[in-house]
A and B are shown apart, each in its own frame.
Chain A
């Protein structure tokens, strides 16, 4: 079955960087993209960005531009999200979600499935 398994929880100090991984299985990795979404404690969902696993195209939400980098490793079917310059309000659960978008144009808006989430805590 299609599955996304994320790396474990992280605790980081303000100003540090964090890299979260998302290993895909059960489908052809390069036939899909991957979106990343975060959820602060008790808050709603916030879309961070998308990467095409086919050609590496990326699109980032304005709130994260310059601070986040999405990458993929096709040899291991793994997507990565790196967030730099961590602040206290970056404390959140970070999700990866399979995204049918491969190119700049969207053909379908559906995130399915989602990873289990990775809690990133920013604390001094």
Chain B
């Protein structure tokens, strides 16, 4: 199972919005509404920000939102803040019953 494709890096200024894409195939992202997104700060464990494409766990800021179109899922962060600077990973369920992560995207807040 190949890793999902994410941009290596994205950046934005405080207050702006950014979007991180996660591209797979019809056997994973495109075939199921089971995409989740994780935020990881250096030296820390990942934290779920979005699950099942667009659901936000309690306690996660509503500045984070998720969507999907075809084989590509997206994470949008609006009103960028310095604390959003981190690595972000998408994860999808697949047709073989396993999960697969994206390669990760480093978000820099300028």
Binding site for B on A (CB under 8 A): 35, 37, 44-47, 49-50, 59-62, 95, 97, 104, 106, 108-117
Q: Would you call A109 and B91 a contact (CB within 8 A)?
A: yes
Q: For the complex, give the distance between the alpha carbons of A62 and B100 in Å.
A: 11
B31 vs chain A, min Cβ distance (A): 12
Q: Are B97's CB and A109's CB within 8 A?
A: no
In contact, B101 and A44 (Cβ under 8 angstroms): yes
Please name the 6 residue pairs, one residue from A and one from B, whose CB atoms are nearest each other, closest first. A110-B51, A109-B34, A114-B45, A44-B104, A47-B99, A45-B101
Contact of B91 with A111 in the complex, beta carbons under 8 Å: yes
Is B1 a contact partner of A106 (Cβ separation < 8 A)? no
Which chain B residues border A115 with CB–CB below 8 Å? 45
What is the CA–CA distance of A115 and B45 in the complex, to the nearest angstrom? 7
Q: Which of A61, A62, A112 contacts B48 (CB 8 A)?
A: A112
- Is the CB of B89 closer than 8 A to any CB of chain A? yes
Cα-based distance from A37 to B34 in the complex (angstroms) = 17
Against A, the Cβ 8 Å flags (1 = close, 0 = not) of B74-110 are 0000000000000101011100011111111000000
- In contact, B51 and A109 (Cβ under 8 angstroms): yes
Please measure, in the bound complex, the distance between the C-alpha atom of A12 and the C-alpha atom of B42, giving whole angstroms.
25
B89 touches A44 (CB 8 A): yes
Partner of A95, one of B46, B92, B100: B46
Q: Annotate B6-42 by CB proximity to A: 1 below 8 A, 0 otherwise.
A: 0000000000000000000000000010111010100
Contact across chains for A44 and B98 when beta carbons are under 8 A apart: no
Residue of B1, B35, B98, B103 contacting most chain A CB atoms (<10 Å)? B98
- Other CB < 8 Å A-B pairs besides A45-B38, A62-B98, A95-B45, 10 of them? A44-B101, A44-B102, A44-B104, A45-B104, A46-B101, A59-B98, A106-B34, A109-B34, A110-B48, A110-B51
User: Which B-chain residue is minimally distant from A117 (CB atoms)?
Assistant: B45
Taking a contact as CB atoms closer than 8 A, the residue among B45, B47, B51, B101 that contacts A47 in the complex is B101
Q: How far in angstroms is the closest Cβ of chain B from A3? A: 12
In the complex, what's the smallest C-beta–C-beta distance from A26 to chain B, in angstroms?
15
Please name all residues of chain A whose beta carbon is closer than 8 Å to the beta carbon of B91 when the two chains form the complex: 45, 47, 109, 111
